[in-house]
Chains A and B, each alone.
Chain A
């Protein structure tokens, strides 16, 4: 740059000197003078013209250099779901594998010779996978024999006889792109990524002498002129690729002579500066090839995805020919809107390459007979996941600027499981209309939210933000703060069970009326959902049946403060009001907050912060950052075990017993129903061995949804869990826990022959020592029908002036 400036200015200086020198009259004869003055003026003219041209060329050259070398294409960020890991013994159904292959746009063929194809017959798959670069390294392409039987992968082998791989990853599904402000979209390709066929076709049609000319090709111009005259229409253009690149890159599309000249000069300069391969690669990335709404499609890499849903190296002859055909006019020859024109031009291109020997006449014939083959969903992410992406954005924004997200071509690998997401969306779309009909609501009244995660790593697998999953609006899963009702109870019981000397699963609680004077002087007198009182009940049954009164007694006994601390340790980060009504769930959380709490419970007391992103790579595939797995023990593991055992009883004999009918018998799950006053919120939060899920159903206007947890959210939850891969809760008793046969009525050891004995886990250090007489003591079974004078008095006070206030704490 410096060198040029100096030479330019010094040239100018010398130029002036030169003119002065030229202008000085020469001593000599007049005849000589006349001729030489004319000669000199002509020379001067040429010199100035040359100078002007030179300076202009210098200016253009500078323009090229600055733009071409510093050229930073703004690349959109790509967001991927989790890859499907294949290994022998992995729980998987044929339908799930098919679904994943469909999302990845693998083509079903009879002979999978190319990456991105597969053959299926029943439960046998022969899959030719695509190579992909992950954070921890490249995964090469494989040809795999996969057999699915009994709900798992029974056979996984290399089809080419290379033995059985232990573990293989499919390429991940692209779920979103985050575009730069100018809405240009491209997938960058290198010169060596361009298939030979495509390059030859391109050169044959657009610029035959590409490797020989020096930027412009006069012979081509003449030839094009001749051809066009003969054909009677514009068949070939005379512009070289270099000229086209210049036009696309630097100049506006004015079609004046001046522009053409400028283009020519710049093309020559470009050709001098850069190698043919570099120019070809730049061209292949810049050429405008289509429009998708606001998104402009640039470059062959993206165009092949956009039109055929396949990467560049999987294109066939007619497909490559179509791409080259589009260069002339992507809108005029748009294969989706003007298929006949596109077909005609494509076949013209095929003819051209056949003539020039790029393909054989046989190939040409077959190619021309092939249909356009343009797909419907062009290179767009598979499906839309706005709710999950909102979560991804929020987590990314902590570490990356918005501008970087849009322009740096980051590759973001998330934790989304598209199959779980699809199951959740299906469950919601099927169940909600049913629930509305059953409750006499107008269609569209109820709303919902769901979130599914993995307990051991805290990875978010699916997020449903509303009944219309494709709507990118208010994300109820992340932002709808609602009263949680009975979902809080496991925290109360956990607090108690953390004190094993005082409480065990068979400690007798009294499900009897309680009244407390609240801070403002009013009486708080909660009731059971059924309005009945059950007298003495064992602790685990109180949780299984969600008895409010027993829970309040227990909570007051351990201290509301302690319960609040437990909640905070389990992962609640919102401020918690320490009031007695907290014991029945007068705290408002989002489904995501609840999911964090239940993740801790499902993970044996180890909290793993829920995260949506695994890794981020930059545009060149270089690892940028990871979001690692991290856990923290926050509550005593044995106490959590006892609590989750009781939560299993919720399913086996409590409010969620519907699940016994709905789910397979081998799938052990645990959970808790949640209902709030006036049935405004219907919740279910529960987990299996490897999934934790929370579902909320309610109304945006906070009116009664006429649904309890068991009649609303539980059904949606069951639909999700029944349709995804699940491992049962393992049957393992941890160290420090002993199973003991006890009499639930009094919590004492049961003698053999005691009819009502149950096997209940205890902390080994606090196992009961005395034996029950099993019948010689007070009966222990809850008395559902008893309504004594105390109960009647309660009913009267319910109708009192504080009725509304008290009803505020009714519910499960």
Chain B
């Protein structure tokens, strides 16, 4: 009996070496498409990131998104310094609260205070887009992609694609109009109105486009509570 006990002891002690259940996956080794190897072809134009199921393969970096970072001090205290390179309150922070946009992940979506306070997403009456002009193929391809993303409510993706198109064709009023529409659907009314105004300033003989811009401006003014301004804009949108 005692012999058994004595033999059993070391065995039990060795049992202490038994591995406990793994807490989590081992070291993080996630490089999707960096300069690193094997970055080739995630083929087929993957669905925009925030539409994938948010189960990253490696949940090792609990990245604390900014907004919780203590940058507030820099903003509040900054004197009126140059736009660039100084932590000034308005530097980079654009009217309409669009300073930085972040993808909305289901888990732990972090919205910065600036964006949250001025966003008022609203359901809009369906407005068909104005007639599309003939565009060079590059801008046209991006435009189609952006339209597809917008209809799938991937607003961040649509905005990114339209900005890319605007880099190629910055004087194209139609692209500005589409970007204004995306911003309106996201709820950034001020920015939508600004972009629509930019579209108007570039539009030439395109009454349909201009009316659509006025529609967007009217919606933005109405959301901001400017009923008179909204009425005036709606008048122009009707062609008056």
Chain A contact residues, CB within 8 Å of chain B: 1-4, 7-8, 10-11, 14-15, 18, 21-22, 43, 46-47, 50-51, 54-55, 57-58, 61, 65, 68-73, 78, 85, 87-90, 115, 130-133, 135-138, 140-141, 164, 166-167, 171, 174, 187-195, 269, 272-274, 278, 281-282, 285, 301, 304-305, 311-314, 390-391, 394-395, 397-401, 404, 408-409, 411, 454-457, 459-460, 475, 478-479, 571, 573-575, 589-590, 592-593, 595-596, 604-606, 609-611, 615, 618-633, 637, 689-690, 730, 732, 734-735
Contact = CB atoms under 8 A, between A and B. Distances in A.
Contacts, number: 378
A104 to B, nearest CB: 10
A611 B84 CA distance: 8
Of listed A85, A133, A312, A630, residue having the most chain B CB within 10 A: A630
Contacts of A282: 26-27, 29
A606 B201 contact: yes
B31 to A, nearest CB: 5
B118 interface: no
Nearest to A115: B40
Given A140-B43, A190-B31, A408-B61, A69 B26 contact: yes
Of listed A18, A57, A399, residue having the most chain B CB within 10 A: A399
Contact of A627 (B19, B31, B95, B100): B100
A620 B160 CA distance: 20
Contact of A619 (B12, B28, B40, B98): B28
Given A14-B12, A47-B6, A627-B100, A589 B42 contact: no
Contact of A618 (B18, B48, B63, B163): B63
The 8 closest A-B pairs by CB, nearest first: A133-B33, A630-B94, A312-B37, A87-B138, A313-B37, A456-B170, A166-B141, A50-B10
B66 A399 contact: yes
A623 B17 contact: no
Nearest to B203: A735
B197 A609 contact: no
Interface string B73-102: 011000011111111101111111011111
A478 B38 CA distance: 40
A72 B28 contact: yes
A184 to B, nearest CB: 14
B112 to A, nearest CB: 8
A342 B191 CA distance: 60
B185 interface: no
A394 B87 contact: yes
A162 to B, nearest CB: 13
A592 B26 contact: no
Contacts of B163: 457, 628-629
Interface string B87-131: 110111111101111110000000000000000000000000000
A632 B83 CA distance: 15
B171 A730 contact: yes
29 contacts: A4-B16, A7-B18, A8-B16, A69-B25, A71-B26, A73-B28, A130-B39, A132-B33, A137-B45, A166-B138, A171-B35, A187-B31, A193-B39, A274-B26, A278-B26, A313-B40, A397-B74, A596-B82, A606-B201, A609-B92, A609-B94, A610-B83, A620-B61, A621-B31, A630-B94, A630-B194, A633-B201, A689-B171, A730-B171
B53 interface: no
Nearest to B68: A401
Interface in B5-62: 5-6, 9-10, 12-20, 22-43, 45-46, 48-50, 56-58, 60-61
A621 B103 CA distance: 13
A599 B216 CA distance: 25
B37 A136 contact: no
Contacts of B156: 623, 626
Interface residues of B, number: 105
Contacts of B82: 478, 573-574, 589-590, 592-593, 596
Nearest to B71: A398
A609 B91 contact: yes
A692 B128 CA distance: 36
Contact of B28 (A11, A71, A140): A71
Given A61-B19, A395-B85, 8 more contacts: A18-B6, A141-B40, A166-B142, A189-B36, A190-B38, A401-B70, A574-B82, A619-B30
B236 interface: no
B36 A187 contact: yes
Nearest to B193: A633
A633 B136 contact: no
Nearest to B88: A573
Nearest to B50: A623
A291 to B, nearest CB: 21
A139 to B, nearest CB: 8
B38 A313 contact: yes
A633 B194 contact: yes
Contact of B201 (A18, A604, A611): A604
B2 interface: yes
A631 B33 contact: no
B161 to A, nearest CB: 6
B230 interface: no
Interface string B189-217: 00100110110011010000000000000
B216 to A, nearest CB: 14
A630 B56 CA distance: 31
A136 B198 contact: no
A65 B84 CA distance: 47
A88 B137 contact: yes
A400 B71 CA distance: 8
Nearest to B210: A735
A87 B136 contact: yes
Of listed A282, A313, A589, A632, residue having the most chain B CB within 10 A: A632
Contact of A624 (B2, B28, B102, B191): B102
Contacts of A57: 14, 16-17
A281 B100 contact: no
Contacts of A408: 61, 63
Of listed A10, A278, A574, residue having the most chain B CB within 10 A: A574
Nearest to B10: A50
B237 interface: no
Given A592-B82, A609-B83, A11 B9 contact: yes
A407 B22 CA distance: 25
Nearest to A637: B201
Contacts of B36: 187-189, 193, 301, 311-312
Nearest to A641: B201
Contacts of B10: 46-47, 50-51, 54
B184 interface: no
A130 B69 CA distance: 35
A630 B83 contact: no
Contacts of B83: 571, 573, 592-593, 596, 609-610
A71 B27 contact: yes
Nearest to B154: A136
A50 B13 contact: yes
Contacts of B39: 130-133, 193, 311, 313
B223 to A, nearest CB: 17
Of listed B38, B41, B85, B197, residue having the most chain A CB within 10 A: B85
Nearest to B84: A592
